[in-house]
Structure 1
Amino acid sequence: MPVTVLLVDDEPLVRAGLRAVLEAQPDIEVVGEAADGAAVIPLVRQLRPDVVAMDVRMPLLDGIEATRAVLRTVPEPPKILVVTTFEDDEFVYEALRAGADGFLLKRARPAEIVHAVRLVAEGESLLFPASVRRLAARYGDGERTAQAALERARLTEREAEVLRLMARGLSNAEIAERLVVGTETVKTHVSGVLAKLGARDRTQAVIAAYESGFVEPG
């Protein structure tokens, strides 16, 4: 089954470009388009896409509120990939905190766009550690909350190690190789980290790690 994608962007040229790149792949299918976040919920319910590629800045309902609405109201919601012009945009950080699975720059190369869609569809986060560090330093206002959550979580030594590697942007397979364990073992540790932190996904766990100081820059 192909990965199905819904494109949400108020710029027709951006949607056309993304569609052309994605539909050139045999395992990806663009099932719909929208010009504003206000149209996302009915389209998600109708089309059931695996991934929503969502612009963050739109005239009626921005990508942050659209992300929150999808995650709040849609059972088994799709993965959400934020599409942005500037990686240091506060809107990007707020969308990630709201539950988006990662972000993609509009200037990304076609191969990077395809990789991003496949990655989030598989349940991995698409994070750029240096960018997330900068965003957390500039816009993060949840330091006390994040620190308290990590203290309450009482991660095991191995879970803490996995969280640090997640924060560096490593995939499950890369973490498994680094720790010399099986991928299923890593998935178990990741699930444990998310459950203990009360995080929806890897992205929110990583943001908490940076905001709390659990993961140091560098």
Structure 2
Amino acid sequence: MIRVIIADDHAIVRSGITMLINSQGDMKVIATAMDGEEVVQKTTELKPDVVVMDLNMPPGKNGLFATKQLKELCPEVHIIVLTMHDDKEYIFRVLQAGASGYILKSAEDMDLVTAIRTVFGGEAYLYPKATKLLIESYLDQIASGLVEDGTALLTSREEEVLSMLAKGYSNKEVAETLYLSVKTIEAHKSKIMEKLNLRTRPELVKYALKHGLLDFE
């Protein structure tokens, strides 16, 4: 039985999705939440298999923030974002936050059921247009020379900072070289680590080596 929590600020939406899920023989809604704070609390307490998460849940934590927090607290939980936003910027941010699925509220009922089964099985689920948007973005970045393989989403300044840090420069040395403050370099470093899903300096060095950012000339 796939155990599901639904997070949405509209009661009628929560009720409708609950009825849909509970009508399936292999899944069950174990709780619902009306905002980001509540879904984080209930997920950490009940440990569901899947969370169906709305993005806009005012006030307080929105779905994006809650998704990121849940992936830190309960990394084993699969999160599907169910939203009205059909935009690649939202898709990128949601995937970077750790969601396994992205589906529109305008989708067919069984598309959500399929999405739940898919992420529960350890795979990602994106509605067809989302996949097309990601592929187009990947090809655009390659064509413009911004990235070589689509894995890096860094600005030119972030690449510069990454290269220097990977070569062993301290934050202070990077700041002095680039005429920036140490605080700015620390902010760049945090953003780089977040974008590339890196946790340690050795991982950063390995990434820089792989992508040709360790030219010592």
TM-score (norm 1): 0.60
Q: Indicate conservation of the 8 Å contact 2:88/2:133, yes or no.
A: no
Q: Which amino acid aligns with 2:90?
A: F
Give the Å deviation of 1:145. 9.6
Percent identical among aligned pairs is: 33
For residue 13 of structure 2, what is the aligned residue in structure 1? 14
For residue 215 of structure 1, what is the aligned residue in structure 2? none
Equivalent positions of 1:180-199 (< 5 A) are none
Give the Å deviation of 1:8. 0.3
For residue 104 of structure 1, what is the aligned residue in structure 2? 103
For residue 93 of structure 2, what is the aligned residue in structure 1? 94
Q: Structure 2 stretches of 5 or more lacking a match?
A: 154-195, 199-210, 212-217
Distance change (3 Å), C-alpha of 1:5 and 1:137: same
Q: Indicate conservation of the 8 Å contact 1:23/1:29, yes or no.
A: yes
Q: What is the alpha-carbon root mean square deviation over aligned residues? A: 3.1
For residue 66 of structure 1, what is the aligned residue in structure 2? 66
Structure 2 distance, partners of 1:93, 1:11, is 25
Q: Indicate conservation of the 8 Å contact 2:44/2:73, yes or no.
A: no
Residue 40 of structure 2 is aligned to residue 41 of structure 1: yes
Q: Which amino acid aligns with 1:36?
A: D
3-state SS of the aligned residue for 2:103? strand
Structure 1 distance, partners of 2:148, 2:36, is 29
Note the alpha carbon deviations across 1:178-200, whole angstroms, 9 max, x for none: xxxxxxxxxxxxxxxxxxx869x
Residue 10 of structure 2 is aligned to residue 3 of structure 1: no
For residue 82 of structure 1, what is the aligned residue in structure 2? 81
Give the Å deviation of 1:87. 2.2
Distance change (3 Å), C-alpha of 1:113 and 1:40: same
Q: Which amino acid aligns with 1:66?
A: A
Q: Indicate conservation of the 8 Å contact 2:67/2:97, yes or no.
A: yes
Note the alpha carbon deviations across 1:155-205, whole angstroms, 9 max, x for none: xxxxxxxxxxxxxxxxxxxxxxxxxxxxxxxxxxxxxxxxxx869xxxxxx
Note the alpha carbon deviations across 1:76-118, whole angstroms, 9 max, x for none: 4310000011322633431112110011211222221211111
Structure 2 distance, partners of 1:18, 1:56, is 16
Q: Structure 1 stretches of 5 or more lacking a match?
A: 151-196, 200-211, 213-218
Runs of 4+ in 1 over 4 A off after TM superposition: 135-138, 143-150
Structure 1 distance, partners of 2:36, 2:151, is 33
Q: Indicate conservation of the 8 Å contact 1:4/1:31, yes or no.
A: yes
Higher RCO structure, 1 or 2 (CA under 8 Å, sep 6+): 1
3-state SS of the aligned residue for 2:53? strand
Q: Greater Rg, structure 1 or structure 2?
A: 2
TM-score (norm 2): 0.60
Note the alpha carbon deviations across 1:108-157, whole angstroms, 9 max, x for none: 2222121111111111110245424436767x99x55975759xxxxxxx
Give the Å deviation of 1:68. 0.8
Note the alpha carbon deviations across 1:26-54, whole angstroms, 9 max, x for none: 11110000001111222112111000000
For residue 29 of structure 2, what is the aligned residue in structure 1? 30
Q: Indicate conservation of the 8 Å contact 1:63/1:95, yes or no.
A: no
Structure 2 distance, partners of 1:91, 1:57, is 12
Residue 125 of structure 2 is aligned to residue 121 of structure 1: no
